[in-house]
Structure 1
Amino acid sequence: MTEKNQGTPAPERLQPSGLVRRFLSRDKTPVSVLFLSALVGLGAGLLSTLFEIAVHWVSEQRTEWLRHEISNMLPLWLSAFLISALLALVGYYLVHRFAPEAAGSGIPEIEGAMDDIRPVRWWRVLPVKFIGGLGALGSGMVLGREGPSVQMGGNIGRMVSDLFRLKDKEGRHALLASGAAGGLAAAFNAPLAAIMFVVEEMRPQFRYSLISIKCVMISAIVANIVFRSISGQQAVITMPQYDAPLLRSLWLFLLLGMAFGIFGVVFNKLVTMAQDMFARIHRHDRRRYLLTGTLLGGSFGLLLLYVPEMTGGGISLIPSATNGEYGISILFILFLARVATTLLCFGSGAPGGIFAPMLALGTLFGTFFGAIAQQLFPELGLQPGMFAIAGMGALFAATVRAPITGILLVIEMTDNYDLILPLIITTLGATMLAQVLGGKPIYSQLLHRTIEKEKMANREQSTVVNT
């Protein structure tokens, strides 16, 4: 019996060490790249979470300065203007002087880097985007922190690749994409939406492979764990939990989606028009650029005093709108006003994103639409907040052209899983109509403009040298 047992080894699959060896022998993904993707997620999660905390701190400090210090020496309105102007100046100066690629959202830069047509200079982008973003967002401008978080996360991915001297091209690409996913997962506490954003929105640049998918998932998970460990596990937006609407009311959600499909195409065109307008104003001259940005930032300091609803990224505005704090006419006026302020801030080239402002716009118009639907069809038992949630996903889908990401993002941010069907209908209607109207995804559009401007600048420079 003993000899028989000695001659028959225990099956390897029953041993833990055997399972590991079996997995490693069958899985062709380099373990080192998977480990590095976790490291990227850790870095992206920490940086994005610290960025959020720092933005809140700067905003609170600005308010404290106004209340206790400067208001004793200067009029309140002048103090508010000067503080926000100074904060905005920091952001615009750092971008123009040290890292022009840190202007705006930064997501087009990551997409270009994934396509090997844009460089990633992490050593200058990371400090400029972090500090410059603090200045721009802290001044009260209508900008979001998700764009900077995605760009900083992508730069963390490239930094890790460089520091560990990773030569494999596919591995470097995977870590870049992993950083972008980690940044978004930490920015919105939405890991599934972050994974889908890279896979869906960045589909022209993302190289689908098993290693890339694994790395993106690992990074998003680790980054989200870091965020939740520091900031808690609650949803980013505190909203009521809505029951699923009646099936006979779903046509209203399709109608809302079609309205956002039209607006999404118009909005994307307005963004490029705003960028062209600011380019004509400052003519790429540093003094004019800084003066324009400083005056714009100071103006938002005044708005913070008198009309705070028109300032900031808008995430804090969403619960107020959905809880019925504004009448129908005020909702529409706020929507139009924030369209204008979003275009001014994002078009100026300030280091900040457009994700959060778009979600706020979707909420305002969705709530406005829902309030009207509630009055016209009281028998359906509709609540305006349902349309607010659907509107967030619809505007995102119409402008970014990533409907699945929009659905997941809104569900994870609001914890309203029962609204998934109306969300799908609304985002599908918005996406299809935007495509029929010839609209282009906003980030691809911005990347194309950046490349074209760079080519024009190179041609002008070569012409000057030749003459």
Structure 2
Amino acid sequence: MSTPKTTVHYVEDKINSWQTRSPFIILFLASLVGVATGLIGSLFQIGIAHIISWRMGIADSEFSNIYIKCLVIFLITAAMGAFSYYLVKKYAPESGGSGIPEVEGALLDLRPVRWKRVLPVKFFGGLTALGSGMVLGREGPTVQMGSSLGKMLADTTKIKNKESQHTLIATGAGAGITTAFNAPLGGILFVIEEMRGEFSYTKSSIKAVFVGCISACIVYQLIIGSSPILNIGTYISVPLNSIWIYIFLGIFVGVIGALSNFLILSTRKFLDLFYQKKEYFFVLTGALLAGFFGLLTIFLPDITGGGFLIIPNVIDELYSFYPLLILFSLRLIATVICFGSGAPGGIFSPTIALGAILGVLFGICARTIFPEYDIHLGTCAILGMAGLFAASIRAPLTGIVIVIEMTSSYILILPLILTCVTATFIAQTLGSTSLYSEILNNTLDKLGIQRK
């Protein structure tokens, strides 16, 4: 007859046996990380939308004087920017920027994951920075918050094994991308491709990333909905006799991607030196930038925000060539300044918006030069989104899949591959490196840490 003690030993032996064959414990924890990331990412998106709606409501209100209206909007958004930058400066400097380089550094055991500080700072700092109208994306905050949730769960459950800790951190990062773009496969590929130099791939770790991204997607779709992020219609496949044209689109966006990375890194270096002069310069910069972009939402709203809202207008040809060229130039400058300033926001969304504009500009030119081909501007926009993403982030597979999942443009897979491979090759040929790897290297150099 079995005793309670022998029964406990039997159960423990069974669990250890199952764990040896299939690490279900780490998979269960990965699912919790995915659920938590999907929840906090969805709340983050809803919060940003409410803040923007509230701010635009104030901007649309009737004021007796336009100057009073401008002053009110400037003061409100400047206060939001000051609050965001103050949180970063005071409590978690690693929350500045997208946070993805910090995640990559954590996977190399070169950067700490101070989740108790990062989670509130990134959430509330990101809400106010993105809500003010600055040209930033929500994917960077969701990735860093997701990885912080992974580390939080590892610490809470007292997991000491480094590989398991890294697995949960990477799972949170992939779940963050999934939540930002409603793109589970994109989140998985982001970890596999972008973090290939930092993440240790094993059968169990890859399964955990899959489980986390699927869990995050389910939670996101339950809260936000299952519709693609961008509803820009459907497109026919590109005829094979004209597919070669998109090699030139890849060259075009590859050059712009390399230029964009150079400008962002140069701006970061310049502002880092500027911030060292006075302690309050960082917060002051945030206040002035947020106030300025808050004002722009009254007069030039298309230059502000992440950029997803302008993509349908660009594709529907609401802009002629030269106004579109001016819009691209202004948004490029705004992206470089906002992201380069150290705001707690990402760059994926602004980059995708810039890519859409570049694609349409290319399409207008191609239609003029090759009138015999049926060139759709929407197709060019989708290819431009993925191409510029690939050139800037140096992750062509991730760019292809994220854009496909965002737009449901599966039929464009062949020209997408052609454009992204060409764009990545051109950017690499010009000496451009991955933006996130370069930011991490600069951070480690400032701290005197040698990268492994």
Q: What TM-score, normalized to structure 2?
A: 0.93
What's the counterpart of residue 391 of structure 2? 398
1:358–1:392 Cα contact (<8 Å) kept: yes
Q: What pairs up with 1:36-185 in 2 under 5 angstroms?
A: 36-68=29-61, 75-185=68-178
2:39–2:219 Cα contact (<8 Å) kept: yes
What's the counterpart of residue 246 of structure 1? 239
Q: Helix, strand or coil for the counterpart of 2:87? A: helix
1:257–1:427 Cα contact (<8 Å) kept: yes
1:96–1:286 Cα contact (<8 Å) kept: no
Change (3 A) 1:29 1:284: farther
2:34–2:215 Cα contact (<8 Å) kept: yes
Matched, 1:281 2:277: no
Q: Deviations over 1:265-301 (max 9, x none)?
A: 1211111111122223332633122112211111111
Greater shift, 432-441 or 146-155, is seen at: 432-441
What's the counterpart of residue 366 of structure 2? 373
What's the counterpart of residue 299 of structure 1? 292
What's the counterpart of residue 4 of structure 1? none
1:41–1:178 Cα contact (<8 Å) kept: yes
How many angstroms apart in 2 are the aligned matches of 1:316 and 1:286? Answer: 36
Q: Unaligned stretches of 5+ in structure 2?
A: 1-13
Q: Deviations over 1:169-208 (max 9, x none)?
A: 2111110100001111011000001000000011000111
Shift of 1:307: 0.5
What's the counterpart of residue 410 of structure 1? 403
Matched, 1:443 2:432: no
How many angstroms apart in 1 are the aligned matches of 2:28 and 2:272? Answer: 44
What's the counterpart of residue 189 of structure 1? 182
Root mean square deviation of aligned Cα = 1.8
2:18–2:24 Cα contact (<8 Å) kept: no
Q: Deviations over 1:27-57 (max 9, x none)?
A: 6332211110000001111011100000001
Aligned equivalent of 2:334, options 330, 341, 346: 341
Aligned equivalent of 2:412, options 406, 414, 419: 419
Query: Residue type of the partner of 1:303?
Result: L
Shift of 1:328: 1.1
Q: Deviations over 1:357-378 (max 9, x none)?
A: 0001100011110112122222
Q: Deviations over 1:401-447 (max 9, x none)?
A: 11111100100000011111110000010111112222100000000
Aligned equivalent of 1:310, options 303, 323, 331: 303
What's the counterpart of residue 360 of structure 1? 353
How many angstroms apart in 1 are the aligned matches of 2:48 and 2:277? Answer: 28
What's the counterpart of residue 34 of structure 1? 27
Q: What TM-score, normalized to structure 1?
A: 0.90
What's the counterpart of residue 463 of structure 1? none
How many angstroms apart in 2 are the aligned matches of 1:411 and 1:377? Answer: 26
Change (3 A) 1:287 1:231: same
Q: Deviations over 1:105-129 (max 9, x none)?
A: 0000000001111000000000000
How many angstroms apart in 2 are the aligned matches of 1:257 and 1:27? Answer: 47
Change (3 A) 1:70 1:131: farther
Change (3 A) 1:129 1:71: farther
1:142–1:357 Cα contact (<8 Å) kept: yes
What's the counterpart of residue 465 of structure 1? none
What's the counterpart of residue 421 of structure 2? 428
Greater shift, 275-284 or 99-108, is seen at: 275-284
Query: Residue type of the partner of 1:118?
Result: R
Task: Tell me the percent identity.
Answer: 46
How many angstroms apart in 2 are the aligned matches of 1:133 and 1:71? Answer: 33
How many angstroms apart in 1 are the aligned matches of 2:370 and 2:29? Answer: 55
Q: Helix, strand or coil for the counterpart of 2:365? A: helix
How many angstroms apart in 2 are the aligned matches of 1:40 and 1:74? Answer: 48
Q: Deviations over 1:57-85 (max 9, x none)?
A: 11111122334498789711111211111
What's the counterpart of residue 15 of structure 1? none
How many angstroms apart in 1 are the aligned matches of 2:425 and 2:280? Answer: 44
How many angstroms apart in 1 are the aligned matches of 2:38 and 2:62? Answer: 35
2:58–2:73 Cα contact (<8 Å) kept: no
Q: What is the number of residues matched between the two proteins?
A: 436
Query: Residue type of the partner of 1:315?
Result: F
How many angstroms apart in 2 are the aligned matches of 1:345 and 1:288? Answer: 15
Q: Helix, strand or coil for the counterpart of 1:381? A: coil
1:274–1:343 Cα contact (<8 Å) kept: yes
Change (3 A) 1:26 1:158: closer
Shift of 1:264: 1.4
* Bigger radius of gyration: 1
How many angstroms apart in 2 are the aligned matches of 1:399 and 1:346? Answer: 13
Q: Deviations over 1:200-259 (max 9, x none)?
A: 011000111011100000000000000000111000011121101111211111101011
Query: Residue type of the partner of 2:291?
Result: G
How many angstroms apart in 2 are the aligned matches of 1:167 and 1:229? Answer: 33
How many angstroms apart in 2 are the aligned matches of 1:407 and 1:67? Answer: 38
2:19–2:25 Cα contact (<8 Å) kept: no
1:371–1:383 Cα contact (<8 Å) kept: no
Q: Unaligned stretches of 5+ in structure 1?
A: 1-20, 457-467
Query: Residue type of the partner of 1:314?
Result: G
